């Protein structure tokens, strides 16, 4: 298959094949590429990280990296599609996205939703956006490492109030209108809206250890969580982390969701 590579990932003794396009320089727009400013990306020094599952192959250490302070907005993503027409709603190929791609974005709604996080995007399109900016999607370990921070502590896992607040959001239906990204709460690292706004894509979502293939019409994430999957986890009480793993394991690279968006990361040594 031209310009494709197959990635095999072991999931509970089985294999998951993902046809992953090789997105290279052709998808990057020189006018968009620039070194991000300090206000746009937070420096994450890295450190000790405990993955959810005991038999996970994730490294216990996350190295330093940069992460967008805010989720990518509708305005930013619309600009990307203007520079890269093949990722527009009218031109995107079905292999890269399902039929709900950018269904919320119309000329009438764009101004109102401009600074809200973009959703209804696929892994393929999110990855292409990040590459066009000289960035990449964060790894699962990187995202989870930043997400474990509370507002005042780099590791909020032992804060019952913090964990309960996240769990309450996960139990609620997604609202019809999302807040502007700059109106969302910041965590210890100065990264905004990691919880309570949208689910977020990671680059290696297919390394999750729970399998499934169920899609609901609205809240997919609320119907997939089998409690038995938490038995082998390091912290069975961390239900929100397990819910994220369950969602990722049921996800396919072309899926879109009205509550699923993304932010980009960057290596610290990238120039």
Backbone angles phi, psi at 230, to 5 degrees: -85, -5
The answer for residues whose C-beta is within 8 angstroms of residue 120's C-beta and 6 or more apart is: 100, 101, 102, 103, 104, 105, 256, 257, 258, 260
The answer for residues whose C-beta is within 8 angstroms of residue 108's C-beta and 6 or more apart is: none
The helix or strand, by DSSP H or E, that contains position 260, with its residue range, turns out to be: strand 260-261
Describe the crossing of helices 239-250 and 140-147 by its angle, rounded to 10 degrees. 150
Contact criterion met (CB below 8 Å) for 241 and 112: no
Backbone angles phi, psi at 82, to 5 degrees: -65, -40
- SS3 (DSSP) at 19: strand
For residue range 181-232, what is the model confidence (pLDDT) as tens digits?
999 999 999 999 998 899 999 998 876 543 333 333 344 333 333 333 333 4
pLDDT band at residue 41 under the 50/70/90 scheme:
very high
Contact criterion met (CB below 8 Å) for 212 and 249: yes
pLDDT band at residue 67 under the 50/70/90 scheme:
very high
**CA atoms of 188 and 94, how far apart (whole Å):** 39
Q: Specify the CATH class of 40-267 in words.
A: alpha beta
Q: Which tokens go with 227?
A: 């409690």
- Say if residue 233's pLDDT is above 60: no
**CA atoms of 141 and 227, how far apart (whole Å):** 22
Question: Per residue in 217-253, is it b (16+ CB within 10 Å) or e — as a string?
Answer: eeebbbebbeeebbeebeeeebbbbbbbbbbbbbbeb
Q: Which tokens go with 45?
A: 């020094």
Contact criterion met (CB below 8 Å) for 117 and 71: yes
Average pLDDT score over the chain: 76
Exposed / middle / buried, residue 29 (Cβ in 10 Å: 0-12, 13-18, 19+): middle
Distinct helix (H) and strand (E) counts, the chain = 6, 9
Q: What is the mean pLDDT of residues 152-179?
A: 79
List the single range of 62-76, 104-118, 236-250 with lowest mean pLDDT.
236-250
The helix or strand, by DSSP H or E, that contains position 48, with its residue range, turns out to be: strand 47-48
Identify any residues that bridge with 184 across adjacent strands, giving them in sequence order: none
């Amino acid at each position: 298959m031209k310009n494709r590579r197959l990635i095999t990932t072991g999931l509970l003794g089985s294999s998951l094949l993902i046809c992953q396009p090789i997105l290279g320089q052709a998808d990057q727009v020189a006018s968009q590429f620039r070194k991000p400013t300090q206000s746009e990306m937070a420096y994450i020094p890295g450190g000790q990280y405990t993955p959810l599952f005991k038999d996970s192959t994730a490294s216990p250490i996350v190295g330093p990296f940069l992460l967008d302070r805010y989720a990518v907005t509708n305005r930013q993503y619309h600009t990307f599609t203007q520079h890269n027409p093949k990722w527009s709603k009218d031109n995107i190929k079905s292999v890269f996205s399902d039929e709900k791609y950018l269904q919320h974005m119309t000329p009438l709604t764009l101004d109102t939703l401009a600074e809200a996080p973009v959703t209804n995007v696929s892994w393929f399109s999110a990855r292409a956006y990040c590459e066009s900016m000289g960035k990449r999607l964060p790894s699962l370990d990187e995202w989870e490492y930043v997400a474990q921070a509370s507002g005042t502590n780099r590791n909020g896992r032992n804060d019952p109030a913090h964990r309960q607040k996240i769990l309450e959001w996960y139990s609620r239906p997604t609202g019809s209108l999302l807040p502007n990204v700059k109106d969302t709460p910041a965590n210890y690292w100065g990264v905004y809206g990691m919880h309570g706004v949208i689910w977020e894509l990671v680059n290696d979502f297919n390394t999750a250890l729970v399998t499934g293939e169920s899609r609901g019409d609205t809240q997919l994430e609320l119907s997939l969580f089998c409690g038995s999957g938490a038995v082998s986890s390091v912290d069975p009480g961390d239900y929100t982390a397990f819910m994220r793993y369950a969602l990722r394991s049921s996800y396919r690279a072309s899926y879109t969701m009205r509550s699923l968006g993304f932010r980009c990361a960057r290596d610290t040594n990238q120039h």
